[in-house]
Amino acid sequence: MAWSRPRKTSSWRFEGAGIEPRAGAWADRRRDSVPVAPVHIRHGLSVNRTPHTALDVRRPRHIAIIMDGNGRWAKARFRPRSIGHHAGARAVSTCIDTCLAEGIEALTLFAFSSENWQRPSEEVGALMQLLLRTLDREVGELHRRGVRLRFIGERSAFAPEIAYRMTQGELLTADNRIMTLNVAMGYGGRWDITQAARSLARAVQEGRLKPEDIDESSFARGLSLGEMPEPDLCIRTGGDHRISNFL
Decide: 238 and 69 in contact? Cβ < 8 Å.
yes
Same domain, 180 and 94: yes
Rounded-to-5 percentages of helix, strand, coil across the chain: 45, 20, 35
Strand pairing report for 18-23 and 10-15: antiparallel
Same domain, 218 and 164: yes
Geometric angle at alpha carbon 225, from 210 and 84, rounded to 5°: 150
Tell me whether residue 56 is one of the annotated catalytic residues.
no
Same domain, 45 and 67: no
Round to whole Å and give the CA distance between 112 and 187: 7
Give pLDDT, residue 59. 85
Same domain, 84 and 159: yes
Give pLDDT, residue 73. 54
Give pLDDT, residue 86. 67
Q: Is residue 152 part of a domain?
A: yes
Exactly one of 97, 116, 136, 182 is catalytic; which is it?
116
Exactly one of 48, 68, 97, 213 is catalytic; which is it?
68
Give pLDDT, residue 112. 84
Q: Is residue 56 part of a domain?
A: no
What CATH number is attached to the domain comprising 106? 3.40.1180.10
In 3D space, the residue among 39, 72, 73, 64 whose CA is nearest the CA of residue 236 turns out to be 64
Same domain, 121 and 227: yes
Q: How many domains does the chain have?
A: 2
Q: Give me the domain span that covers residue 68.
A: 62-236
Give pLDDT, residue 164. 95
What letter would DSSP give residue 55?
A: -
In 3D space, the residue among 242, 195, 240, 246 whose CA is nearest the CA of residue 72 turns out to be 240
Q: Is residue 3 part of a domain?
A: no
Tell me whether residue 182 is one of the annotated catalytic residues.
no
Query: Going residue by residue through the chain (247 aa), what tens digit of pLDDT does each one get?
Result: 444 444 343 333 444 444 443 333 333 333 333 333 333 333 444 444 444 445 456 789 999 988 775 666 566 667 766 666 666 677 788 889 999 999 999 999 988 888 888 888 888 898 899 899 889 989 999 999 999 999 999 999 999 999 999 999 999 999 999 999 999 999 988 889 999 999 999 999 999 999 999 999 999 999 998 888 888 888 877 565 555 555 6
Same domain, 120 and 20: no
Give pLDDT, residue 5. 41
The b/e string for 138-176 (b: 16+ C-beta within 10 A; e otherwise) is bbeebbeeebbbbbbbbeeebeeebbebbeebeeebeeb
Geometric angle at alpha carbon 118, from 117 and 122, rounded to 5°: 80
* 228 strand-pairing partners: none
Q: Is residue 2 part of a domain?
A: no
Same domain, 79 and 115: yes
Same domain, 178 and 215: yes
Same domain, 39 and 137: no
Q: Is residue 4 part of a domain?
A: no
Q: Is residue 247 part of a domain?
A: no
